[in-house]
Structure 1
Amino acid sequence: MTPQEPARSRTQRRQDTLDRLEHDVDCWVATAAADGEPCLVPLSFVWHENGVVVCTRRTNPTGANLVRDGRARITLGHTRDVVLIEGEGELLTDSSRTTAADAFAAKLTWDPRDEKGYVYLRIAPKTVQAWREVNEIAGRDLMRDGTWLD
């Protein structure tokens, strides 16, 4: 086992989190059906206009759950380098859909606009937490109520 690294400052964790949101391409998205049935799926994403934009079929459980309820939990990373986001999802339409789809296609080299039934959903973060080891658990909160903590 390697010695534990010193805990990062909140400023450094926020920068590391924003870097991951900009450069990572996949995340885990958790939602729940009306009856409480959980759904957890990996999806590609793009960080766009201060939200996580995912694309899925509207009829898939994740799409249906987000359109109905709006709540989602997203994770990036693995157990020793976690970013956990809780947010509110919205179905993108009109110009917001166009700009998000452009950003999605540019980052991921996949453009589902021509595929039937796909929708774009933006999850606006309400809380963001990040930690690597136990020494960062106490200071893991980076955002509350949609506002970055300083």
Structure 2
Amino acid sequence: MTTTEPARTREQRKQDVLDRLAKDDDLWVATASPDGEPCLVPLSFVWDRDTLLMCTRRTNRTARNLTPAGEARVSLGHTRDVVLIEGAAEPVEGTELAAESADAFTAKLGWDPRDRKPWVYLRVTPRTVKAWREENELAERDLMRDGDWLV
């Protein structure tokens, strides 16, 4: 692997992660069924109250894999600027979602699934966050562990 830029500090990587969470619209969500069958899909999201808030049809495998609760791995970026988040996920009905959260989702993404019965929100609470660009950042890629920021 070719290193073209100096390694960022962990503090800078955390800030870069927070910037991406605020500005990016889409991410990849990986889940597994109870029998271990993997599922990887892109979903739109909003960073809301230190959690990721997404929405999908309740009949989609991603929603079924996380009902009533489950684990998700989420990735932003490309292979030379990775943000990898793992955490607990839970479905939230549109009628049960706090108005400010639903409003934030609608404002950022331009659609409001709150009253659409086939849809359910998914909230992922990060337990770990890792970020790196090149090999020179792998040694200190852990930015969050057990839900606590390390920087």
| TM bracket (short chain) | over 0.9
Give the corresponding residue for 2:97: 96
Shift of 1:134: 0.5
- TM-score w.r.t. the length of structure 1 is 0.93
State the partner residue of 1:23.
Answer: 23
TM-score by length of 2: 0.93
Partner of 2:136: 135
Name the counterpart of 1:147: 148
Correspondence for 1:61 = 61
Q: Which segments of 5 or more consecutive residues in structure 1 lack a partner in the other structure?
A: none
Unaligned runs of 5+ in 2: none
**1:12 matched to which residue of 2?**
12
Measure, in 2, the Cα distance between the counterparts of 1:3 and 1:142.
Answer: 21
Q: 1:92 to 1:116 in 2, by over 3 A?
A: closer
Deviation at 1:90, TM superposition (A): 1.5
Contact 1:97/1:120, CA 8 A, preserved across alignment: no
Q: CA deviation at 1:66?
A: 1.2
The aligned counterpart of 2:48 is: 48
Distance 2:32 2:69 in 1: 8
What amino acid is the match of 1:100?
S
- What SS does the aligned partner of 1:11 have? helix
Separation (CA, whole Å) in 1 of partners of 2:125 and 2:69: 14
How many residues align structurally?
Answer: 150
- Residue 105 of structure 1 aligns to a residue whose secondary structure is helix
1:108-134 deviations in whole A, cap 9, x for unaligned?
A: 111122333101111000000000001
Give me the CA root mean square deviation.
Answer: 1.7
Please show how residues 69-108 of structure 1 align to structure 2 within 5 Å: 69-93=69-93, 96-108=97-109
Q: Deviations over 1:39-80 (max 9, x none)?
A: 000000000010000000111100111124410000000000
Q: Report the counterpart of residue 123 of structure 2 in structure 1.
A: 122
Q: 1:148 to 1:64 in 2, by over 3 A?
A: same
CA distance in 1, matches of 2:119, 2:6: 44
- Percent sequence identity over matched residues? 64
Distance 1:10 1:3 in 2: 17
